Structure 1
Amino acid sequence: MDGFDLVIRGGDAILPGQGRTACDIAVRDGRIAAILAPGEAAPAREEISARGLVILPGAIDVHLHLGHGKDISRPRVAADADRETAAAARGGVTTFVPYLMASEPFETIFDTVVGVTEQGARIDFGYHFIISTEDQLAGVPAYIRDYGAPSFKIFMNNRGGEGARLGLPDIDDGFLLRLSEAAATHGGMVCPHPETIELAWVLRERVKAADPDGRGGLATWNATRPPFVEADAVQRAAYIAHTAGAPLYVVHTSSAEALEAALRHRRAGARVHLETCPHYLTHDIGWAGGDMGKINPPLREAADRERLWQGLIDGEIDTVGTDHVHRDLSSKDGGIWAASPGCPGLETLLPVLLSEGHHKRGLPLDRVAAVTAGNPARIMGLGHVKGAIAPGLDADLALVDLDAVWTMERADVVSSAGYSIYEGETFKGRVRSAFVRGRPVLRDDALVDAAVGTGRYVRRRLPAG
């Protein structure tokens, strides 16, 4: 056998179908070449020790917004990708798939966006397209076929001028139906932002009249867009997509009601994949951080949080994505009514699941690997190259110290957001090193500067059926 480029020795890896397994991992040409018995002879140009560490497949974050400053639509300069992929590496994320937002046809900007991202990216990436115009809808077949981008977000709440904040036009359920039909015909998937905005308008008017200064903070915001607003849109999207024959990927499930609505359609035969986010697993309307926690959908009640954890443990929820937004803290100024929604989350993805999930709630490590790597890869069309520690797949790895206890401080934040909703929180479990295609992007807690510009665009194709 020819020598290997790298052998990682002495760790326990989370292997598909086997769970936690003591083994050595051999890498050649950026891919996993062999899973070796501990200490097995294997000539290599480099060996590193993972003694005392657990090796997870690198996390794949399939829900985030990569923008420029307060503009979340797209990266404009290489530094945008540099900062956010650095944050990703800290969180054990070795591939991410941001949502690309525009009012023009994506074919007019795609090459530029990919080029800018590749100039700064430390990790691999894809893109979803947010479909909002007739020209974009007409481009769906080409986006799937020629761009390797088969997943399409739609803001179900963009009605009555609601999309103007994002520079997008109004749409309706007829547009959702036509997008679902196009996805079904050409091998795509629909990813709705599920909120019935007409209901939210009525509630917002009532709540604002009762609390014009927003003194109720996160509870007030939740009251304007309560769980049934989310659940109604989830059941509507699932019904429409199922009727059209398209798979549905429900983003940022935040409430027990929305989860149950999706599960009813899944049990009835619809292809419904479910995602939640770390902030819905760890924060609720009682959080002391106040307006910093304004998000859409809103943070919910503690009971919703625990129901989502149970869904994650039981396998009802398929993935955890960060919905990372890297607007800086000034975007939260002006009180709950004026603050911009969204928060950063890339650099705490695996730490949250290890600390709050594995250690506190018994979430098995193979479930951590499934919801952060295996399922996102399979569902989003990356399973041919990523998502597991197995020969032939990219050597994307996160080496974690399960017993490391540490506290998140604002000074530690890498993202250009410059803050975290986890400041002051103590975690148990830390990403020590991360590798993308066998090259280090994080090594012994330190970011690797040489990784800048080495990330590559990955074309995706959804699994049949």
Structure 2
Amino acid sequence: MKFDLILSGADVVIPRKGVVEADILITGGRIAGIVERGTAVDATERVDLTGLTIFPGAVDVHLHLGHGNDISRPRVPSDAASETAAALLGGVTSFIPYVMSAEPYENFFEELKRVTEAGARIDFGFHFIIASEAQLDSLPRYIQEFGVPTAKLFMNIRGDEGKRLGLPGIDDGFMFRLLEKLGKLGGMLCPHPENIEIGWALTARMREEDSEGAGGLKTWNAARPPFIEAEAIRRAAYLGRITGTPVYCVHTSSREALDAAFAMRREGCPVLIETCNHYLTHDVNSSIGLAGKINPPLRTADDREALWQGIASGTIDTIGTDHVHRTMASKQGGIWGASPGCPGLDTFLPVLLTEGYHRRGISLERIAALTAANPAQIMGFGGRKGDIAIGLDADLAIVDLEADYVVGPETRATDAGFSIYDGMSLKAPVLHALSRGRFALRDHQLIDDAVGTGRYLARRLPPCSPATNKQ
């Protein structure tokens, strides 16, 4: 048999198993074989990757793909082109952005797919943010027809809090009814967990103490502290148990929130736990200014280390970026006026390999599980993405584990125009990335022909077992 492509000479990271010396055979965009290094086979193209390491392409299941400073959805193909380019530089070969709207998604779903596919360099899915009665009524169609089984709920959108995002307010009754429907339809809730009523009280208090926001990231953390995150996680997870609906805890930022999620899991709640790179690398003392204003806030060094412990122990299931590609212009107005969020796609795998593997000794297979196998399986990409196995899409990220580089404009592609890692020295640059067997990044250069090759993938979730938390 003649194969399309052989990747030879590299070490291959198999999630949950280990690192093997093997050559990868690719045909028709899929992995057709994993053979002993140096095996004689016939192929149209052979690429020598001696000295490099092949990972399953990362699957980022938490990001916001928007247009300019509007994070609700992509409006033109270049929105997808720039941010999927950023994804490839970070080793991400598929992703699932959150789409946000106050109107029913059926009103623009086909246009959303068309615009994103026209610019995307990688495959993608969508999550829908559910905030209205009309959207709640259409949930069966979203799950069964559109293949969008995951719904985000901003638990902090109460009263007028959602006005800046164009969303109506919700309450716990709405969340309960959403959980009921998701449970019956085989869906999953991804709540943004904050008790905003307490947040309002603490924000008013902090504004009195620090009206100019001179305390910066410390002030922001004090206004929205870990306990309001932890309380909301417990509430959502408990209602998830009552309704039989899995709850995916997005962007877990603190020791207290992690402990709350794990405690609810021990009580039998079907809980899955995600954290994000910025919580693993930065804290309230980081000298990044307003670029570091994020929701939930950056926490303390102790919180950061607790998250690393959760990664090492297996408590945390996935890592995402929570990528937001607003520019620094959105960060005007001090800590009280700046928009929350920061980009994270361009540096995703290198940050984790630098801080996790090189600095803390987290195994390569554990990092591959957190960034690829687990999110793919949990979010309904399993059997297509997230692993290196025969029959799966040949979505691969190839890094030089020992090389160093400095993050800057020449290493970024996001149209945000900045990174909280700018000026930092990282290891393990992504030199090559393949999407369905085609190079979309080669020798650290983006391939122009990859634009428009990404495709929308409908999803269906596997069963979630609260007893083992394995899917």
**TM bucket, shorter chain:** over 0.9
Alignment match, 2:461? 462
Q: Contact conserved, 2:89 with 2:412, CA < 8 A, in 1?
A: no
Confirm or deny: 8 A CA contact 2:72 2:99 kept in the other structure. yes
SS across alignment from 1:147: coil
- Return the alpha-carbon distance in structure 2 between the equivalents of residues 449 and 393 of structure 1: 25
Q: Which residue of 2 aligns with 1:377?
A: 376
- CA deviation string 1:48-78 (max 9, x = no partner): 1111011000000000000000000000000
Q: Give the drift of 1:412.
A: 3.0
Q: How does 1:47-446 map to 2 (within 5 A)?
A: 47-446=46-445
Q: Which AA in structure 1 matches 2:253?
A: S
Deviations 1:75-126 (A, max 9, x none): 0000000000000000000000000111111111111001000000001100
Counterpart code for 1:195: E
Q: Give the letter aligned to residue 390 of structure 2.
A: P
CA contact (8 A) 2:195 2:231 kept: yes
Gaps of 5+ in 2: 465-471
What is the CA-CA distance between 1:250 and the residue it aligns to?
0.5
CA RMSD of aligned residues (A): 0.8
Q: Is the 8 A contact 1:64 1:321 kept in 2?
A: yes
CA deviations 1:358-395 (Å, max 9, x no partner) are 00001100011000000001100110211100001000
The answer to whether the Cα contact below 8 Å between 1:94 and 1:435 also exists between their aligned partners in 2 is yes
Task: Provide the C-alpha distance between the structure 2 equivalents of 1:17 and 1:287, rounded to a whole number of angstroms.
Answer: 33
- Counterpart of 1:400 in structure 2: which amino acid? V
- Partner SS, residue 337 of structure 1: helix
Q: Separation in 2 of the partners of 1:107 and 1:155?
A: 20
Show the counterpart of 1:447.
446
Shift of 1:140: 1.2
After TM superposition, give the deviation of residue 138 of structure 1 in Å.
1.1
Secondary structure in 2 aligned to 1:85? helix
Q: Which residue of 2 aligns with 1:5?
A: 4
Question: Whole-Å Cα distance in 2 between the matches of residues 59 and 255 of structure 1?
Answer: 24
Contact 1:132 1:169 in 2 (8 A): yes
2:359 counterpart SS class: helix
User: What letter corresponds to residue 159 of structure 2 in structure 1?
Assistant: G
Q: Which amino acid aligns with 1:52?
A: G
- Give the number of aligned pairs: 464
Indicate if the aligned counterparts of 1:16 and 1:390 stay in contact, CA closer than 8 A: no
Q: 1:23 to 1:384 in 2, by over 3 A?
A: same
TM-score (norm 1): 0.99
Q: Contact between 1:395 and 1:437, CA under 8 Å: does it hold in 2?
A: yes
Answer with 365-374 or 40-49: which moved more: 40-49
Identity %: 58
Q: 1:301 & 1:121 partners in 2: Cα distance? A: 36
Return the offset for 1:20: 0.3
Q: Per-residue displacement from partner, 1:269-319 (whole Å, max 9, x unpaired)?
A: 111000000000000000111111000000000000000011011110000
Gaps of 5+ in 1: none
Looking at structure 2, the residues matched to 424 and 195 of structure 1 have their Cα atoms a distance apart, in angstroms, of: 32
8 Å CA contact 2:14–2:368 kept in 1: the answer is no
Q: Please state how far the C-alpha of 1:42 moved relative to its aligned partner.
A: 1.4
Within 2, Cα distance between the matches of 1:420 and 1:292? 8
